[in-house]
Structure 1
Amino acid sequence: MVAQDTLVSYSAFNASLPDIVQIGGVWTPPALRGKGYAKSVVAGSLLYARSQGLKHAILFTGDNNQAAQAVYRGIGFLPTGEKYGLVLFEETQA
């Protein structure tokens, strides 16, 4: 998101499947936080995903990041749990 020729926030999809996207890389410069930029950019990402036929999205935030959690709840996300893991598969040689 750009305001007056300045990058004020961004959001990206860091994973996607035919029916779901994972939003990641949400960032706003510290001096510009609390102005609604992250909320707008994530909402815009969700609108784009919906325009592509997707109906589900997921994102993660730290346990202590109350501000981000409030923003995400404000646009419809619900907490689903506390424990997640990441599985990395080794590449196999053919």
Structure 2
Amino acid sequence: MRPACRRVIEARQATAMHWVLVAGDTLVSYSAFNASLPDIVQIGGVWTPPALLGKGYAKSVVAGSLLDARSLLVKRAILFTGDNNQAAQAVYRGIGFLPTGQKYGLLLFEETQA
């Protein structure tokens, strides 16, 4: 699993598609775009260490990533969170996201060798 995670992080770093929030010397939150087009981004991989939850760090790092995207003329963003993740839903509403009331799925294609 770690090699796969490393490849994802390296790809995001190469394309400037992830952000970290640091307080002093401590990484306090992380956010990434796991998909993007010229006018829309999909936020994914938001993470804050459990001991630091509820301090506004995730809200800050996601908002910062969206400001960066806006500077590149991105006009829309989408994200997903669980129906029962009330804390994350409150954070996302706090920065302007609205629930769609619709369910979405993700389809992943497996790479095959020709």
TM-score clears 0.5: yes
Matched, 1:3 2:27: no
1:39 alignment partner in structure 2: 59
What residue is the counterpart of 1:69 in the other structure? 89
In the alignment, structure 2 segments of 5+ residues that lack a partner are 1-20
Greater mean alpha carbon deviation, residues 5-14 or residues 74-83: 74-83
- Is 1:30 the counterpart of 2:27? The answer is no
More relative contact order in 1 or in 2 (CA 8 Å, sep 6+)? Answer: 1
CA distance, structure 2, for counterparts of residue 41 and residue 91 of structure 1: 32
Scaled by the length of structure 2, the TM-score of the pair is 0.76
Which blocks of at least 5 consecutive residues in structure 1 are unaligned? none
Counting helix residues as a fraction of each chain, which structure ranks higher?
A: 2
Identical positions, percent: 89
User: How far apart are residue 50 of structure 1 and its match?
Assistant: 0.1
Deviation per CA, 1:61-80, whole angstroms, max 9, x where unpaired?
01110000001001000001
TM-score (norm 1): 0.92
Q: SS at 1:81's partner residue?
A: coil
- C-alpha RMSD over aligned residues: 1.5
Total equivalences in the alignment: 94
Q: 2:36 aligned with 1:12, yes or no? A: no
